[in-house]
Amino acid sequence: MKDVRKYWLGIKMAPALRYRQYVLAEAAGGPCELWEATAKELTDLGLSANVAHQTVAFRNSLDLDEEYSKLGKAGIRIVTDGDDEYPWLLKQAINYPRAILVKGKLQGYDHAVAIVGSRRATALGKAFSFEIAEALGQEGVAVVSGAARGIDTAAHWGAVEAGGITFGILGCGLDVIYPPENRKLFREIEQHGALISEYPPGTAPLPMNFPARNRIVAGMCQGIVVVEAGERSGALITADFALEYGRDVFAVPGNSKQQNSRGANKLIKQGAFLVESADDILDILGIERSTRLKQYNLSQREIALLDNLGWEAKRMDEILRDTNESVAIVAALLLSLEISGFIKKDLSGCYLRVR
């Protein structure tokens, strides 16, 4: 019996086939038939005679068994829509991918929410993304995002911090670390869920790949949360896919004067659910809270300092002005809260609450 996964790999590697792979495979009678088609049969499927001959030449030059073996050695496997582990939510989406490449584990969750937003996110936006992802992760909700800079990265780290499940959907090959500074994050995502791509190893993160990537992000979740997005942001494309799939769309309101807030604010005007905390998401999706929330043993002084700090970055002098504590005590409390992961100190020396 032929292994369709191997043939899907060949199709994804063939330049003339990959961007119409599912339509062509269905027309040909399946991935095996498409891969083995003659030049005449490929022209009958709609390819030009020149491209058809180039495709046959590419196929003849490729040792598909060797390429498939390399895939396994790299820890990458192909999962098709006929496999039990194929994401159940994704299979319910329109025009879902029939075959995906995976590093990690796809199963072990009942609910999934996507968190997306600007690559040029503010510190506050990243902190909020981290916070809601962590809270969702603590409740057993898988967090889906695109592993890009900014909001995506913060969301994945929040889920990892909670010990939850997270899925990173890439617009490049699974052997390509993009952005390069997320190498450690990619390893963590593999341990806490999976990296997923439609593209074969070696595929660069080309701009044309990301809209297709976004449809998978939307397809893998029950709802999508947009945190900081411009009016032409890719996050809004993902939200459009979510609406097309009948998924709930959530948005975090922001300052109307900031470019990064206009996309999310626009979604709220159009009827998206306004999000102020993870509870809003859980309530709308009807997800019952578990008893697995982390219990933080904070002192009354630490709680009071967090309340005074709020969610805006503050300098030490501003924090001291709003408290009745000495410099030494405030410094000790800030250090304790920073070690516990409740606040972060940015390059300018300001403190920002992140949880």
Residues 54-65 have pLDDT tens digits of: 999 999 999 999
User: Amino acid identity of 335?
Assistant: L
What pLDDT score was predicted for residue 346? 80
Q: Can you read off the two tokens belonging to residue 303? A: 């709680």
What pLDDT score was predicted for residue 296? 63
Please name the residues in contact with 10: beta carbons below 8 A apart, sequence gap of 6 or more: 35, 59, 62, 64, 67
Residue 236 pLDDT exceeds 60: yes
Coil, helix or strand at residue 257: coil
pLDDT band at 292 (very low <50, low <70, confident <90, very high): very low
Residue 294 pLDDT exceeds 50: no
Name the burial class of residue 62, with classes exposed (0-12), middle (13-18) and buried (19+) by CB atoms within 10 angstroms of its CB: middle
Q: What is the mean pLDDT of the chain?
A: 92
Phi first, then psi: what are they for 353, rounded to 5°? Answer: -75, 130
What pLDDT score was predicted for residue 61? 96
**In the chain, pLDDT over 90 holds for what percent of residues?**
74
Coil, helix or strand at residue 223: strand
Q: Lowest-pLDDT range, 19-33, 139-153, 176-190, 253-267?
A: 253-267
Q: 354 to each of 39, 114, 133, 155, 289, how far by Cα in Å?
A: 58, 19, 12, 12, 22
Sheet strands (E) in the chain: 77-80, 99-104, 111-117, 141-145, 166-169, 193-197, 223-227, 248-252, 273-274, 343-345, 351-353
User: Amino acid identity of 238?
Assistant: T
Give per-residue pLDDT as tens, 211-224: 999 999 999 999 99
Name residue 195's beta-bridge partners.
103, 168
Give per-residue pLDDT as tens, 156-198: 999 999 999 999 999 999 999 999 999 999 999 999 999 999 9
The residue that leads in pLDDT, 207 or 325, is 207
Residue 210 pLDDT exceeds 70: yes
d(Cα 172, Cα 201) in Å, to the nearest integer?
8
Give per-residue pLDDT as tens, 100-132: 999 999 988 999 999 999 999 999 999 999 999
User: Amino acid identity of 47?
Assistant: L
pLDDT band at 293 (very low <50, low <70, confident <90, very high): very low
Residue 289 pLDDT exceeds 80: no
